Amino acid sequence: MKQWTWQTVMGFLLLGAVTLLSWQAGSLAASGVLTVQSREGTAETARPVVVIDPGHGGKDPGKVGVNGQLEKDINLSIALRLKNYLEYSDVTAVLTREEDTGLSPAGGRYKKMSDMQKRCQIIEEAKPDLVVSIHQNSYHENSIFGGQVFYYKTSQKGKVLAQILQKRFDYVLGSANRRQAKANDNYYLLLHVKEPIVIVECGFLSNPSEAANLQTEEYQDRMAWTIHMGIMEYLNKERA
């Protein structure tokens, strides 16, 4: 008799537990928690993808600085640092080049054009949320300095991203950051890439102090961090 009571109590406890579990599963499904879990891997939960395009490379040095710095090297160094920061933030980062090389096939007649076409192809295949092309500027007056971000004139998303990044240049340039994000309609990549894309001109290699800064790893790192923070701000807004 004593044993029968014990078994009955256990039976009731078990029945209660099963009832409670199934009720919880039902309410979780109703609240959407279980539905979201089953959707893993779809667009809503996938990692964002960013293409970083370090301008120039190989035989194309880009701008040459007052102390002989080559734009292509600074672009690549900032791009590789930016890639690391984005990956720490769970963003998939795709580079159009990861070493000092151009993207046009050797011996091609229209080298610049085929280089640009290859960059576009890499971008299209990555299906990115956004694209950042890294460059350095130059001007015939060496007093001119500062970073500036360009976007395609009719791209609202490109404009938003450009304005966020331009504002964040405060971090590296302080109150000297007086430039505005600027619309453009003739850069090849801006014309041919359909995703939001910006050209980030980090600074002027024609300005002695900015050229010296851009050559240091510390400044390149701050620049990469700044661009990374801007990208994260944009992605958080867009994916909210």
Interacting residue ranges for Zn ion, rule: CB under 5 A: 55, 62, 135
Q: What is the identity of the amino acid at 231?
A: I
Q: What's the closest the beta carbon of residue 103 comes to Zn ion, in angstroms?
A: 14
Round to whole Å and give the CA distance between 55 and 96.
9
- 145: its two tokens: 């300095």
Q: Are 217 and 36 in contact (CB under 8 A)?
A: no
Which single residue brings its beta carbon nearest to Zn ion? 135
Residue 48 or 207: the one with the smaller Cβ distance to Zn ion is: 207
Nearer CB in complex with Zn ion: 76/160: 76
Interatomic CA distance for residues 74 and 180, integer angstroms: 23
Taking the alpha carbons of 163, 116, 82, 48 in that order, is the dihedral positive or negative? positive
**Minimum CB–partner distance for residue 115 and Zn ion (Å):** 12
- In whole angstroms, the minimum distance from the beta carbon of 86 to Zn ion comes to 21
**Partners of 94 in beta bridges:** 51
Closest contact distance (angstroms) between CB of 127 and Zn ion is 25
**103 vs 232, beta carbon nearer Zn ion:** 103
Q: Which is nearer to Zn ion, 71 or 129 (CB)?
A: 71
- Measured between its terminal Cα atoms, the distance across the chain in Å is 63
